[in-house]
Amino acid sequence: MSLFREKPPEPAAASREPSALQVDGSTQYLTVSLPNRDSVVYPELLAIVKDAGFQLEPTNRKWWLRDRHKVLTFLARHLQDFREKYRAQFTPGFNQRTTQLQFAKLTATAGGREGAFEVGIELTAPGADEEALRGAVARGQAYIETSRGLILVNPNSAQKLAEAQRALGGPSGGGAPLARFRRSVTAAELPALESLLESLAVPFETPATWKTRSEALRKLDRLAPAPMDAELSVRLR
């Protein structure tokens, strides 16, 4: 019998790669831990952090971004996708240190009555006036600093704002879109406008009169015939 006992195998080292996307930091810096390399979203997440200027720290396998302007620009572009598309896990510290962040919201409104309709599309944010919002959109600026906190301007919202305003006959000559834009529309334009705003995924509420007229124009073949005078009906026969 051997005088030496066989040494048991060393336990496999635990993978330092998380199973989910993890985010920590503040408005001054960010750390991102990517999910396992076999995750289907790993390649696109890796491309996102590299494009944003993150640097990998080999000792902990975390990607670091240490520049306030780049951090705020990154959050404006990707925070919503990280939350909704990639189901990222945010640390309590990150949530606490970013409570002052708000997103500018893109909405469309409609009003009016039979024969006189109006549609509007606007970008709004608490504490940010129209001029500040328009300037941010014109310059491609991803955030605005106000007395009530930081306002993030998602580039997708800015693009939708510009597309919708062009379709509605907004500022011409390549000018920057307005933060708030309204114009009168005819009943015949209602179905096309609804389709446009739906395609841009812009929240949109319509009054009852608008819905009734728009539905009728979409289904002209289903409209009930107009009432006809009995004597006229006999003559036409």
Domain ranges of the chain: 22-94, 103-220
Backbone angles phi, psi at 204, to 5 degrees: -150, 120
Whole-number pLDDT of residue 231: 63
Beta strands in the chain (DSSP E): 22-25, 30-33, 55-57, 62-65, 89-90, 101-103, 105-113, 116-124, 143-146, 149-152, 180-185, 204-205
Four-residue CA torsion sign, 212, 202, 42, 23 = negative
Pair 153, 177: CB distance under 8 Å: no
Distance CA 30, CA 27 (A): 8
Locus of tokens 């930081």: 150
What sign has the CA pseudo-torsion 201, 207, 208, 212?
Answer: negative
Residue 225, token pair as written in the block = 């015939």
Q: Indicate the pTM of the whole model.
A: 0.73
- pLDDT, position 195: 80
**Predicted local distance difference test score (pLDDT) of residue 4:** 43
Q: What's the pLDDT at 115?
A: 63
Per-residue pLDDT tens, the chain, 237 aa: give them: 444 444 444 444 444 556 799 999 999 999 999 999 999 999 999 999 999 999 999 998 999 999 999 999 999 999 999 999 999 999 999 999 999 999 998 888 777 666 677 888 888 888 888 888 888 888 889 999 988 889 999 988 888 888 888 877 776 556 678 888 888 877 777 778 778 777 777 777 665 555 555 555 454 455 556 565 666 555 555
